[in-house]
Amino acid sequence: MRALLLLPVIAFASTAASAAPKNIIYMIGDGMGPAYLTAYRYYQHEGEHPVANTIFDDLLKGTASTSPDDDTLVTDSAAAATALATGVKSYNGAISVNRQHIPIGTMMQLAKHQGKANGVVASSQVNHATPASFLAHNISRQNYNQIADMYFDYRINGKPVADVILGGGTQFFIREDRHLVNEFKNEGYQYIDNWQQLDSLTRAPALALMADVALPAALNATEPRQLETLTSKALQLLSPAEKGFMLMVEGSQIDWCGHDNDIACAMAEMDDFANAIAVAKAYVDANPDTLLIITADHETGGMSLGAAGKYLWLPEVIKGVSATGRKIADELNAAPDDNTALARWLALTKIQLTKEEQQQLLAARGKEQKALREVAVKLVAQYSYTGWTTGAHTAVDVPVMAYGKNSEDFHGFMDNTDIAKQLIKYISSH
The residues annotated as belonging to the active site are: 77
The backbone torsions φ and ψ at residue 136, rounded to the nearest 5 degrees and listed phi first, read: -140, 180
Give the helix/strand (H/E) hosting 253: helix 253-259
Cα–Cα distance between 126 and 212 in angstroms, integer? 11
Going along 379-421, which residue ranges are E strands? 386-387, 393-394, 398-404, 412-415
35 three-class SS: helix
Distance of CA 302 to the CA centre of its chain: 18
Q: Do β-strands 290-295 and 393-394 pair in parallel, antiparallel, or remain unpaired?
A: unpaired
Cα–Cα distance between 198 and 142 in angstroms, integer? 29
Query: Residues 17, 239: contact at Cβ < 8 Å?
Result: no
Query: Residue 96 carries which DSSP code?
Result: S
Cis preceding linkage at 224, omega within 30? no
HSE-CB of 179 using CA atoms within 13 angstroms? 6
Query: Residues 247, 227: contact at Cβ < 8 Å?
Result: no
Q: What angle do CA 104, 107, 108 make, to 5 degrees?
A: 110
Cα–Cα distance between 60 and 32 in angstroms, integer? 13
Residue from 263, 207, 202 nearest 237 by CA:
202
Question: b/e per residue, 234-247, with b = 16+ CB within 10 A?
Answer: bbbbbbebeebbbb
Give the helix/strand (H/E) hosting 86: helix 77-86
- The radius of gyration of the chain's CA atoms, rounded to the nearest angstrom, is 22
Cα–Cα distance between 172 and 123 in angstroms, integer? 15
